Structure 1
Amino acid sequence: MKITDWAIIFVLLASPVLWVLQLHTEDLRVVHRIQVRYTTALHTAVQDAASALNLNELQQYETGYGSVKSMRTDKDQALSAFIHTLSINLGIEDDYLGQGMMMAYIPAIVIIEYDGYSIYAVDESTEISSGVPEISHRWRPKKPYVYSDQFGNSIAFTLDDALTAYESSTGQWHRGRQNELQPMTSIPLLQNADAFEQVRRATIVRSIEDDLAGYINRHNEYAARLGVNYLFTLPLLSQEDWNNTLNDVGVVVFLQGIPVGDRYYNNYAFGGGRLVQNRPLLGGTHEMTGLKYYYRDTCSLNYRNEEIFANRREAAAKGYYEAACP
């Protein structure tokens, strides 16, 4: 056979394989685009939910002076903001049936508060009128971050070093910060600041993960009733994510089991809820040189103030140089 004959045979044999590979490649592109869309929608919705946590209606509910991490969280407002934003990004803002189905793929929403956490997940309740058990999403009671040692001492942690402790040897309750209570009690954990911090973080993470595992497992029964063929499990959250989350009040949301091609979308997102207000940057012109500089309002500079900027990048984009603050 001639070389051209072999070439024709090769093309005939390879064409179907190449065609199938091309179709698979295109499917992977589509799956990737859908996954990026879901991830973007999830993160945007979680950030909106976290921002809504501190929308307090009265001044006395705003962040207090005792701790910058202590604030009143509005769980219902955060939940409403999350569902609204996610529905818009998924194109179902006017489809209430679709929104209900969307919740079948959200096994749990966690609100991490200053002195405890709340979980929004499916739970069984009995209707008073009919007496029939019903499974639906609802807020579970807030749980504190509690640790108990082998001597019967108990400590309720917060997101910083403030705590409430019960000393079993004296039967007394103590409230304050770790360094304040250290000389006042014989509780072993309070005698070492490094050990206290490690146990505090580990207790918070373990408490939340243990509850999440139970609620996500319970979600499988709820999802199966809605025809969702997926086994919901608690994903492995990285230590970095937990460290960032435990630094502040925030929201954790799990989105799982959405069919995407021949696989399932499985992701989670964190969002911090406390607003950090930076001092503004002022933009002014030097009287003698005419050069533009930006500086903090605490700087004593004899410049003619012209503009206000939120950050250095914004000021530099307008042609302002950083001034040397005396």
Structure 2
Amino acid sequence: MKITDFLIIFFILYVPTLFYIEAKAENTQTFVELNQKHENSMTVAAQDAVNVLRTNVIPKLEVGYDSYKINPVDPQPAIDTFLQTLALNYQVNDSVTVDMMSRYIPVFAVVDYDGLLLNVYQKYTNEDREQELDRVWLPKIPFSYNDDEGNIINFTIDEDIEVYDVQLNEWFEGKRSELVQEVTVPLLNNETDFEQIRKRTIVDTLQENIAFYINEHNVYTKYLDVTYQFMMPLIAEEDWYNTVDDVSILAFFQGYPYQMADQVYHEYAFVGTRLHKKESIVAGMVDGQKRFWYESCNYPYVADEKYPNKKSAAAAGYSELSCLNP
């Protein structure tokens, strides 16, 4: 056989393989880029949503927990902003497609000061007494712990608690350090044990309820014209524990299809964005005006002063520079 015959056989057998390998490599790179875009879009959307929460959560917490209980946070603007930013990042500008994107968000969660708020799809009876399937906010789920003696502790993301003392048959409210002398609940006696149980209770509440409602979303996929099988993603314990000391947003966006040749891109992204309710206020001169803003806004302006809250900054003659509308 001539050398030219070997070359012809080589090209017939191996060149298509090389083209196939190159095409697969290009596809892999495309998927990596899509995945990065997917996660970046989620992160930006969650950050915008938490900035909306910041405008009405922090002022209430600065007044105190009692005021916060009377005027709790309204989470609806957060999910509205989340969807708007997500749609913008995906270059979606029609309501029909935005509604379709929403169907791939099985759970939108807000870790509130004293409980878990979940926005999910549910069937309910509307004003016309007809069954309707739509996104709804569930009643707040408390961070509740029961000890072996029957005592009940409702935790918050800091030291404020509600305690039912079974021996005294009475409810108490306040900080652990204040109630330890008033109640007979053993857990309050040890600050280290208290913190461990508080964090574990909040994480358990998140994991159990989010997993349940992500799974329940599969009941409605037929009606939502979605074929993806939703399930709880594997998330590191450290990520869960990062949510227990601050108001946070946990968003799940799963199975949104990216059509690429004969393949469909399916992936999920988990985003936890903290509110930083205890962060300091910084202040300085901005365009010749005395302004104050939250450090997390990451403005390039020089900060000359630092204050514990808005009230103190305003008393010093500064006006607010919002993270949302600089």
Q: In the alignment, which residue of structure 1 is the partner of 2:318?
A: none
- Distance in 1, Cα, partners of 2:276 & 2:230: 30
Asked if the contact 1:124/1:134 (under 8 Å) is kept, the reply is yes
Q: In 2, Cα distance between the equivalents of 1:308 and 1:250?
A: 27
Q: CA deviation at 1:22?
A: 1.6
Which stretch shifts more, 105-114 or 205-214? 205-214
Which residue number corresponds to residue 302 of structure 2?
309
Pair 1:139 & 2:141 matched: no
CA distance in 2 between partners of 1:64 and 1:170 (Å): 31
Displacement after TM superposition at 1:280 (Å): 5.0
2:188 matched residue in structure 1: 190
Post-superposition Cα deviations, 1:67-120, rounded to whole Å, max 9, x if no partner, equal: 9x999533112122111111111111x310000100111001001111112100
The 5 A counterparts of 1:1-326 are 1-2=1-2, 5-56=5-56, 61=60, 63-64=62-63, 72-92=72-92, 94-129=93-128, 131-260=129-258, 261-274=263-276, 276-280=279-283, 309-310=302-303
Shift of 1:308: 5.9
Deviation at 1:196, TM superposition (A): 1.0
- In the alignment, the residues of structure 1 paired with residue 126 and residue 173 of structure 2 have an alpha-carbon distance, to the nearest angstrom, of 41
Instruction: Report the residue type matching 2:173 in the other structure.
Output: R
1:245-302 alpha-carbon deviations (Å, 9 max, x no partner) = 21211211000012344441111111122452344589xxxxxxxxxxxxxxxxxxxx
Cα distance change on mapping 1:241 and 1:60 into 2, 3 Å: closer
Conservation of the 8 A alpha-carbon contact between 1:56 and 1:72: no
- Give the direction of change, closer, same or farther, for the CA distance of 1:42–1:264 in structure 2 (3 Å limit): same
Q: Partners of 2:29 and 2:51 in 1: how far apart? A: 33
Give the whole-Å Cα distance in 1 for the aligned partners of 2:183 and 2:145: 16
Identity %: 31
Cα pair 2:203 2:241 within 8 Å, conserved: no
| Distance of 1:133 and 1:13 partners within structure 2 | 62
Letter in 1 for 2:90: L
- Matches of 2:101 and 2:175 in 1, distance apart? 43
Amino acid at match of 2:133: I
1:31-77 CA distances to partner (integer Å, 9 max, x unpaired)? 222222221111100000001002239x963633569x999533112
Instruction: Say if 1:280 and 1:308, in contact at 8 Å, map to a contact too.
Output: no
State the secondary structure of the residue aligned to 2:174.
strand
Matches of 2:186 and 2:84, distance apart in 1: 47
The Cα offsets for residues 142-194 of structure 1, whole Å up to 9 and x where unpaired, read as 12111111211000100012211011011122222222222332212112211
* Mean CA deviation greater in 79-88 or 106-115: 79-88
- 2:18 corresponds to which letter in structure 1? L
Q: Distance in 2 between matches of 1:136 and 1:217?
A: 16
The whole-number CA distance in structure 1 between the counterparts of 2:29 and 2:206 is 36
Of 34-43 and 112-121, deviating more is 34-43
Cα distance in 2 between the residues matched to 1:90 and 1:251 = 20
Which has more radius of gyration? 1
- SS of the aligned residue for 1:20 comes to helix
Mark the CA change 1:99 to 1:199 in structure 2 (over 3 Å): closer, same or farther: same
- After the TM superposition, which of the residue ranges 3-12 and 137-146 deviates more from structure 2? 3-12
- For 1:29, the aligned partner's letter is Q
SS in 2 for 1:53: helix
For normalisation by structure 1, the TM-score amounts to 0.79
Q: Mark the CA change 1:101 to 1:193 in structure 2 (over 3 Å): closer, same or farther.
A: same
Contact persistence 2:38–2:269 (CA under 8 A): no
Aligned partners of 1:179 and 1:247: how far apart in 2?
17
CA RMSD, Structure 1 to Structure 2 (Å): 2.7
Return 5+ residue gaps in structure 2 as ranges. 286-299, 305-326
Which moves more between the two structures, 4-13 or 153-162?
4-13
Contact 2:255 2:267 in 1 (8 A): yes
